[in-house]
Structure 1
Amino acid sequence: MSPPPSIASDYFASLFSLAGKTALITGAGRGVGLAYARALARAGANIAVVLHPSESEDGVNTEIRPLSVDVHIFKADLGDRDQVRDLFPQVLAAGLTVDIFVNNAGIAHRESILDYPEDKWYAILQINLSAGFVLGRAFAADVVRRQARGKIINTSSVGGFLASRNTVAYTAAKHGVNALTKSFSTELAGQGINVNAIAPGYTVTELTRKNLESNGAGFLKRIPIGRFAETSDLEGAVLFLASPASDYITGQVLAVDGGRIVSDFEADVVAVDAAKEKL
């Protein structure tokens, strides 16, 4: 017999409600970051987003502000080390108490190792990895100072487990994000801070749509579930890791990838097709 709706509602609210919490999310103007912000806002969290100075606020204004939570927008170029150092003090100066830090901002560049521009290497390492270290450390210091609890959620990638051609800087950075997650979790667990990461697979966004459309057949062969992720597929993962439901989980990298990293699915498909031809 199912519990009465009120009991079920109270139970799930106790696990997943973020009412009264504030989440700071980098790279939240569109795509995965905007989906993260939407999920946390729907659970009751107030939202502080970090956008590039040139980035439109339209996505935040259209999708987050109507959810009846407080919304704050900060502008910073995370490729600029000075702006990264200044960002969290600006958040505190605005009177915000941050409970959840989602380190999501990232960029990529595809080119062979022999031709890879050094400036692209350093830019990708700065935005995808170093900015997360600096901001995560600043957030953790504030949580410890307040003797509070906090959650850090990093955005990794299947590229943090695998290596693809022509993505040397992105691959190195995302492997680094996995290591950063584990190092932070080890040192901060006793300070009341959980540190985990989400590793999305091939996800349809404005930035990836063209590449997925042109190379879709090859990519789909590698995904056991048989489709690309939508940004909405990542919402449950970020809500889980931000909520009380995950209070005893730290140092983990949760792959939301349709099974991409656990199976050599493309090779399996080729082997099955070859076997069929012999019958």
Structure 2
Amino acid sequence: MTKAEVIQVIGAINDPSTQKPLSESGTISELIVSDDNKIHITFGFERAQNQQFVAFQRELIRVLKNDLKFDGVKIDYKEPDEKVMPDGRFIAVASGKGGVGKSTTTIELAYAFARAGKKVAIIDADVYGSSVAQIMGITKNPPQAINRKILPFIKDGIQVMGCDLLLAGNDPVLWRGPMLGKMIQQFFTDVAWDRDIDVFLLDMPPGTGDVALDVQMMIPQCEMLIVTTPQKDAAYIANKAGLAALNLGHQIIGAVENMSYLTCAHCGERTYLFGQDGGQAVADQLQTELLAQVPMKTANNKEEIDATFDEIVKKISF
């Protein structure tokens, strides 16, 4: 039994603290499915002694044991503390696979939002392959803290936090699923983000594993932007990421086809190095809009790429 399957089933149960389904309330703090068919769920609200709470717990245990057939069930509750999610719009940039330019798309999108007058933050949620800081040229100094919260790094007015900024050198991350969830939670709640951030952009890891599920639990209102390249194989896997997002209840706000073509600096002719139509195939499959076809980056086409992302921001703007 996977996390996604559990969330899909228990998501319809009403949260007694918010009167919303668990799929919308965002109060599942942690969900661990062990190899011996046991489950441990921690909720971010305090245990109560009333009929509504008792009915909730009874129904949850019934579903976990009888419907999902878990051999052991452990449920914990913790009183809410000062760790609250920041306000703002959350957009996750996902691809399903690596190498399609998801991180660069996230960064270009951040600069486009900034040019549009929005205050932007980037959370590099690709814990294993964190690269946003490297691409943006952020100097890795020891992180500073205020009021027990880490100050985000800032480049060109954009606030940034990622695992790579907290590790020495190019050290790899060798963590299992539960540790990833805790790190992502800390990016949201233990960083001293400015209170007036308009948009948080999440650079998601490849695939549809633990981090995607943790993001769904923490911010069920998160929107998804799907990135692909023109190749059929890349589009096929991007569709999987999009379908996973839909199954988790996220809204897909569009698809972006990256590295669509190379423009000749002399004659302006376009060469489609990786084929065509992958982005449109993803948009059609996910019933969303193909927001842009982004050219390959060269030394001479910064204005063209900036204009492309400015148009994307206009299409998905508030």
TM-score, structure 2 length as denominator?
0.39
TM-score (norm 1): 0.43
More helix by share: 1
| Bigger strand share | 2
